[in-house]
């Protein structure tokens, strides 16, 4: 299962609360696992499968503007809901399944909205760079953007981060450029170093390497 990031959530009430939680988890880690597995092994597979199907359908009905990616992660999040359902029964834990459902649904919805902004931002960026490149390609002898072509078609765009930010702000994307870059990197629309949204490249023959965003233009729809 891929990792999902749950941001802007207050998981603990204080540093002391966080330390206490960490300590208790380390002390009791691994004890419930075998008991839970034994409980699951006694259940008919069809019952588990039907519960998984139920939660898949439940999630799809709750998500607005679902896309192909939403359907893929729905299958995985349904497994988490099935786990919470049976863990509460098997271990007698005070699991708030309603809160878990709300958290997962919120995560799926936010991811869906971020993917949409990624598509819109890429389309705007392509139009701006390809149709109006003469307006910002050079400033004296300083190159801001380099469009590389392959087989006669635009293949990738190398652009300085400050100019990239200005273009997106002009397109009404405000301060979302970091969200958009993360979106593009995840979907393979950005050629970048690990843990970076940039790559060292040269914008002009004979010039020094500098950090730029490398936006891939061809076959972006095939990378999803």
**pLDDT value of residue 135:** 55
Residue 201: strand pairing partners = 210
Instruction: Average pLDDT across each block of 10 residues of the chain; the chain has 224 residues. List them in order.
Output: 67 90 86 92 97 94 73 87 95 91 85 75 88 57 70 83 90 85 90 91 78 82 46
**pLDDT value of residue 32:** 87
Instruction: Give me the residue label for tokens 């004296």.
Output: 140
* Global confidence as pTM: 0.53
**pLDDT value of residue 65:** 66
Please give the distance of CA 123 from its chain centroid, rounded to a whole number: 19
Nearest-angstrom CA–CA distance, 136 and 143: 8
172's enclosing H/E stretch is: none
210's enclosing H/E stretch is: strand 210-216
Other Cβ atoms within 10 Å of 111 Cβ, number? 19
In sequence order, what are the residues at sequence separation of 6 or more whose Cβ sits closer than 8 angstroms to the Cβ of residue 150? 218
**pLDDT value of residue 36:** 94
**pLDDT value of residue 63:** 81
Nearest-angstrom CA–CA distance, 70 and 64: 10
Nearest-angstrom CA–CA distance, 36 and 66: 33
**pLDDT value of residue 117:** 82
Nearest-angstrom CA–CA distance, 188 and 200: 18
**pLDDT value of residue 139:** 47
8 neighbors 83 (Cβ within 8 angstroms): no
Structure tokens that stand for 201 in this block: 């490249």
Residue 73: strand pairing partners = none
């Amino acid at each position: 299962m891929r990792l999902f990031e749950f941001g802007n959530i207050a998981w603990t009430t204080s540093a002391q609360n966080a330390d206490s939680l960490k300590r208790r988890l380390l002390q009791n880690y691994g004890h419930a696992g075998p008991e839970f597995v034994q409980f699951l092994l006694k259940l008919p597979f069809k019952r588990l499968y039907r519960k998984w199907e139920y939660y898949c359908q439940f999630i799809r009905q709750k998500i607005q503007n679902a896309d192909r990616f939403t359907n893929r992660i729905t299958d995985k999040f349904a497994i988490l809901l099935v786990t919470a359902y049976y863990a509460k029964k098997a271990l007698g834990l005070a699991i708030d399944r309603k809160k878990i459902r709300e958290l997962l649904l919120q995560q799926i919805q936010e991811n869906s909205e971020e993917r949409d902004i990624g598509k819109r931002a890429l389309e705007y960026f392509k139009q701006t760079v390809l149709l109006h490149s003469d307006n910002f390609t050079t400033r004296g002898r300083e190159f801001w953007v380099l469009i590389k072509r392959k087989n006669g078609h635009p293949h990738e765009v190398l652009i300085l981060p400050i100019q990239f930010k200005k273009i997106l702000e002009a397109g009404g994307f405000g301060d979302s450029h970091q969200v958009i870059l993360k979106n593009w990197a995840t979907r393979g629309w950005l050629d970048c170093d690990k843990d970076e949204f940039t790559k060292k490249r040269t914008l002009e023959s004979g010039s020094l390497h500098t950090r730029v965003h490398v936006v891939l233009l061809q076959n972006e729809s095939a990378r999803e």
